[in-house]
Amino acid sequence: MSRLAEGELLSSPAPGASPTAADGGARQSGFWAATRLVAHREIMTQIRGKSFWIGFGLLVLALLAGAILPRVFGGDDAPVVAVVGPEAAQAVRDTDLQPRPVDSLDEATALVRSGDVEAAVVSDPGSVTGVRVVAFNEVPLEVTAALVQTPPVDLLEPGAVSDGAVYAATFVFALVFFMFSLSGIGIAQSVVIEKQTRIVEILAATVPVRALLTGKIAAYSLLTFGQVGVLALVVPIALRIGEQEALLALIAPGLGWFAPFFILGYVLLAAMWATAGSLVSRMEDLGSSSSVVTMLVMLPYFGVTFFHDNDLLLTILSYFPFSAGLAMPVRMYAGDPQPWEPFASLGLLAATLVVCVLVASRIYTGALLQTGARVRLVRAWAGAETP
Amino acid sequence: MLELRSVSRSFNGTKVLKEVSFDVAPGRITGFVGANGSGKTTTMRIILGVLAAHGGTVRWRGQPITHPVRQRFGYMPEERGLYPKMKVAEQIVYLARLHGLSSGEAKRNTATLLDRLGLSARAEDPVEKLSLGNQQRVQICAALVHDPELLILDEPFSGLDPIAVENVLGVLREYAARGVPVLFSSHQLDLVERLCDDLVIISAGTIAASGSRQTLRTQHATPRFELVVETDAGWVRDQPGVTVVELDGARVVFDVASDAAAQPVLREAVSRGAVYSFGKVVPSLAEIFREVV
């Protein structure tokens, strides 16, 4: 039985009964009403699809794994070493190594051979350090490193954050930015489906074409921001489970800046994805028309991931609108930019966004009703139509 | 009343519509016929604002057509299209809402129409699971669901089985009876002849003929008569001023210079014996079409 109940069928007026029945009701027209309907449909279509949840689930899993697994596998159990003699006991005392005092070298050697201990630390007056390490068949780096004495270091200008931490944070942001930017191809696909199935002609005859574009961008942006919001809740919990509060403390202050950059950056790419979709009429052709957008997503990702320690390149990337959303927050972690720089970069991004959306809107409108071969940009810009 | 006046349109410098003018009157079904590529679809797209006219005007109830007005038109494009994975009812409701209906109205109208077109049982199926004929019916629902004030249908019958054709014919008549102007294009001339009150014939971007079906038939009626007598009608060949078009024993079809010139033939027939039938031959739409294009 259909969702439309029998009673509803019977009670509703026949088409002939009231020619202007619809006029009596609240006919909402206009751009924003249409935009809202389009956005609503796009969101419903997405969240009903399996691929949306699979993709999001995988991303959450990846981030959880990244936060928790190091603890599980890396283990914070310090290696156990057999200790022979007072000098050895003294040397091991100041380290994380877990000592297991034994009486003789033979006993220690047996423990090493049986694998019960990682290595044995034995007093040796002939050694410079006063101890010798006995291991099975390879140098136990963890043990030797623990025994090395480093002199105290005074940093004249200590960095706010360690390099390793900056790299970790960069990687997390880059991954999130990259995944979501790339998922913007869904917008392009949604545009192509409408062209490919030709429903676009009914849509264009009913609502302003720009409402279609705006609705799609709004829908995908909201979905993405919602997902990022969920991640923003999940990741701190995961980091706490993984006992990496230090990293959390590191990431948290930057989130404030990551958000506006991410939002503007995403909308900018969304407009470009939609334009790429409007230029072709078949899914198979989407790859060619969207290659430029794919590039604009990939380059900043790899650029920032690989060159995050190259100051000049990172500075340039932090102003280039397509990578600013990633490069500027990363620079800010390193405590490097002047206070005005994020504002300047954000302003540049916003200006680019406005220009791009206007251009995209015109190209989209010009290209949307042209079917067949891939539409040339010049023709789409001129708004040329074919019969 | 929908009025087109001197509408023209070019593609890449080629004029595909030249000074196209015609009316679609309230409560009348207007058939729009023409060969492939003669400009039917382009004209309809211009009425719907999907294409811009390069010259001329399209007016609805005496006013230029704005977007809120156009939202109340119903359109079925030649290139059919629906979201293949969206459920039938949900899709129609969505389109109704794009046309400005409230959620409640949209659902009510959708239920009524699906019932009317025999699709209620498929309301919850995705469109792609339906047969082509049923998809076509869904497409018709999409054009009608918002109780349009004007209906523009591009080849609404192509792809329909005979039962669906009757079904849709009934619905269109109903809309016309309610005072909605209906413009539809078709290359099935027999259907156009049965269904339409008015006719617009377009040829190579120019309106070749337009008017009520009856007027056109009379206008294009040549002085051609059919006569059936008791015995052989071969003698008609020898009548002065008569050209025999068809002769089949006792039945003859002939052309004369004017209606009056047929009367002497009738008198001669009566004088020769029994006359079973005598009348003017009215041209079929197909004949008019062949003549004007």
The amino acid occupying position B107 is K
- The answer to whether residues B208 and B237 belong to one domain is no
Residue B71, φ and ψ in degrees, nearest 5? -60, -20
Question: Percentage of chain B with pLDDT > 90?
Answer: 55
Average pLDDT (A221-225) is 92
- Shared-domain flag, residues B79 and B26: yes
Question: 3-class SS at A119?
Answer: strand
CA distance A11 to chain B (A): 9
- pLDDT at A163 (0 to 100): 64
Provide CB contacts within 8 A for A178, sequence distance 6+: A297, A298, A301
Q: Which of B27, B8, B31 lies closest to B175, judged by CA?
A: B27
Of A3, A197, A206, the CB nearest to B83: A197
Give A-chain residues touching B120 at CB under 8 angstroms: 2, 4, 9
Does residue B290 belong to any structural domain of this protein?
Answer: no
Q: Does one domain contain both B104 and B124?
A: yes
Tell whether the model's pLDDT for residue A19 goes beyond 80: no
Do the Cβ atoms of A332 and A348 come closer than 8 Å?
no
Q: Which ranges of chain A does DSSP label H, i.e. alpha helix?
A: 6-11, 21-24, 31-48, 50-69, 86-93, 105-114, 141-147, 163-183, 185-196, 199-206, 209-241, 245-278, 286-289, 291-306, 311-317, 321-333, 341-368, 377-382
> Is residue B138 domain-shared with residue B257, that is, in the same domain?
no
Cα distances from A23 to residues A19, B34, B107, B171, in angstroms, run 9, 35, 16, 20
Chain B residues in contact with A37 by the CB 8 A cut-off are: 94, 97-98
CATH code, B276: 3.30.70
Q: In terms of domains, do B134 and B224 share one?
A: no
Are B105 and A202 within 8 A, CB to CB?
no
Interface predicted TM-score of the whole assembly (ipTM), two decimals = 0.81
pLDDT > 90 in chain A, percent: 11
Confidence of residue B67 (pLDDT cuts 50, 70, 90): confident
pLDDT score for A154: 73
The verdict on residue B291 lying in a domain is no
Q: How many domains does chain B have?
A: 2
The contacts of residue A199 (CB under 8 Å, 6+ apart) are: B81, B82, B83
Confidence of residue A24 (pLDDT cuts 50, 70, 90): very low
CA-CA distance, B43 to B289, in Å (whole number)?
19
Q: Which of A385, A162, A356, A367 is nearest to A266 (CA)?
A: A356
Residue B258: give the domain boundaries.
220-282
Of B196, B218, B240, the residue at which a domain comes to its end is B218
Q: How confident is the model at residue B253 (pLDDT cuts 50, 70, 90)?
A: very high
| Residues B93 and B194 reside in one and the same domain | yes
Beta strand A80-84 with A119-123: parallel, antiparallel or unpaired? parallel
Residues B175 and B273 in one domain: no
Domain end point (choices B218, B238, B255): B218
Mean pLDDT computed over A8-36: 50
Whether residue A197 and residue B101 make contact (CB cut-off 8 A), yes or no, is no
From chain A, the residues in CB contact with B113 under 8 A are: 15
Q: Greater confidence, B106 or A16? A: B106
Nearest CA-CA distance, residue B147 and chain A, Å: 7
Q: Are residues B105 and B235 in the same domain?
A: no
Torsion sign, CA atoms A371, A374, A379, A381: positive
Q: Are residues B206 and B109 in the same domain?
A: yes
* Residue A20, min C-alpha distance to chain B (Å): 7
State the SS3 of B119-155. CHHHCCCEHHHCCHHHHHHHHHHHHHCCCCCEEEEEC
Query: What is the per-residue DSSP string for chain B?
Result: -EEEEEEEEEETTEEEEEEEEEEE-TT-EEEEE--TTSSHHHHHHHHTTSS--SEEEEEETTEEPPHHHHTTEEEE-SS----TTSBHHHHHHHHHHHTT--HHHHHHHHHHHHHHTT-GGGTTSBGGGS-HHHHHHHHHHHHHTT--SEEEEESTTTT--HHHHHHHHHHHHHHHHTT--EEEE-S-HHHHHHH-SEEEEEETTEEEEEEEHHHHHHHT--SEEEEEESS--GGGGGSTT-EEEEEETTEEEEE-SSGGGGHHHHHHHHHHS-EEEEEEPPPPHHHHHHHH-
pLDDT over threshold 50, residue A21: no
Average pLDDT, chain B: 90
Lowest-pLDDT choice from A103-107, B40-44, B105-109:
A103-107
Structure tokens of B141? 């629902």
- Residues pairing with B14 in the sheet: B11
Residues in A touching B99 (Cβ below 8 Å)? 206
Which has the closest alpha carbon to A62: A161, A224, A156, A172? A172
Rounded to the nearest angstrom, the gap between the alpha carbon of residue B158 and the centroid of all alpha carbons in its chain is 12
Residues of B within 8 A of A3 (CB-CB) are 89, 123-124
Cα separation, B180 vs A385, whole angstroms: 30
In this prediction, residue A214 has a pLDDT band, given cuts at 50, 70 and 90, of: very high
- Give the torsion sign (CA, B9, B11, B14, B17): negative
Nearest chain B alpha carbon to A32:
B98
> What are φ and ψ of residue A330, in 5° steps?
-65, -45
Distance CA B293, CA B203 (A): 6
Question: Is residue B293 in a domain?
Answer: no
Nearest to A373 by CA among A386, A363, A361: A386
Question: Does B71 share its domain with B137?
Answer: yes
- CATH at B160: 3.40.50.300
A29 contacts B100 by C-beta, under 8 angstroms: yes
Structural domain includes residue B149: yes
Does the pLDDT at position A387 exceed 80?
no
In a domain, B289, yes or no: no
Whether the predicted pLDDT of A197 surpasses 50: yes
Give the pLDDT mean for A40-54: 91
Residue B196 CA to residue B185 CA, distance in Å, equals 10
pLDDT band at A164 (very low <50, low <70, confident <90, very high): low
Of A140-144, B75-79, B237-241, B262-266, the range with the lowest mean pLDDT is A140-144
Compare CB distances from A199 to B50, B70, B81 and report the shortest one's residue: B81
Looking at residue A78, the DSSP 8-state letter turns out to be P
Domain end, chosen from B172, B187, B218, is at B218
pLDDT the model gives residue B164: 81
Give the C-alpha separation, A189 to A203, whole Å. Answer: 16
- Residue B292 domain-assigned (yes or no): no
| Cβ contacts of B11 on chain A, cutoff 8 Å | 385-387
Mark yes or no for CB contact A21/B73 under 8 Å: no
Query: Using the beta-carbon criterion (under 8 Å), do B71 and A204 form an inter-chain contact?
Result: no
Q: How far is B51 from chain A (nearest CA, A)?
A: 7
Contacts of A209 in chain B (CB under 8 A): none
The secondary structure of residue A118, as a DSSP letter, is: S
pLDDT of residue A210: 87
Give residue B169's pLDDT band: very low, low, confident or very high (50, 70, 90): confident
| Inter-chain residue contact A25 with B75, CB threshold 8 Å | no
**Are B226 and B214 part of one and the same domain?**
no
CB crowding A337-359: b at 16 or more within 10 Å, else e: beeebbeebbeebeebbeebbee
> Does one domain contain both B111 and B17?
yes
The bridge status of strand B206-212 relative to strand B224-229 is unpaired
Residues 6+ apart with CB under 8 A from A24: none
